[in-house]
Amino acid sequence: AQKVTQAQTEISVVEKEDVTLDCVYETRDTTYYLFWYKQPPSGELVFLIRRNSFDEQNEISGRYSWNFQKSTSSFNFTITASQVVDSAVYFCALSEANGANNLFFGTGTRLTVIP
């Protein structure tokens, strides 16, 4: 069965601090996809990144970086030099390639960046 765990319910940081959001997943499938979405106060779900299970390279996009480690079934997300606009709920999600192709979400982490 698929499961995504985001143990951090809420995090508060002061602007310009770095922050890491944790994500641990469970799946029996050998091929799967991992995602991060951002949900700002306006409510929409904004795609941030998609990762294939066979590509463990870490990725950096501006102030955002992702650390994918299959050995620990983790896909953590780091924001460097946080800004107030980063305040949002962040969701980690999993989709299995060989099973149903729906998307399983974690419970989300609410990040508040204090100016």
Nearest to 84 by CA among 40, 63, 111, 114: 114
- Among 9-17, 42-50, 57-65, 70-78, which window interacts with another protein (CB under 8 A)? 42-50
- Among 21-29, 39-47, 68-76, 78-86, which window interacts with another protein (CB under 8 A)? 39-47
Is 61 among the residues that bind another protein (CB under 8 A)? no
Question: Which lies closer to another protein via its Cβ, residue 65 or residue 105?
Answer: 105
SS3 20: strand
Residues numbered 89 to 108 that lie near another protein (CB under 8 A) are 91, 95, 100-105, 107-108
| Contact yes or no for 39/98 (Cβ under 8 A) | no
- The CB-of-68 to another protein minimum distance in angstroms stands at 15
d(CA 77, CA 79) in angstroms, rounded, equals 7
**How far apart, in Å, are the Cα atoms of 14 and each of 31, 39, 81?**
38, 20, 9
Residues at the site binding another protein, with contacts judged by CB under 8 A: 33, 35, 37, 43-45, 47, 50, 91, 95, 100-105, 107-108
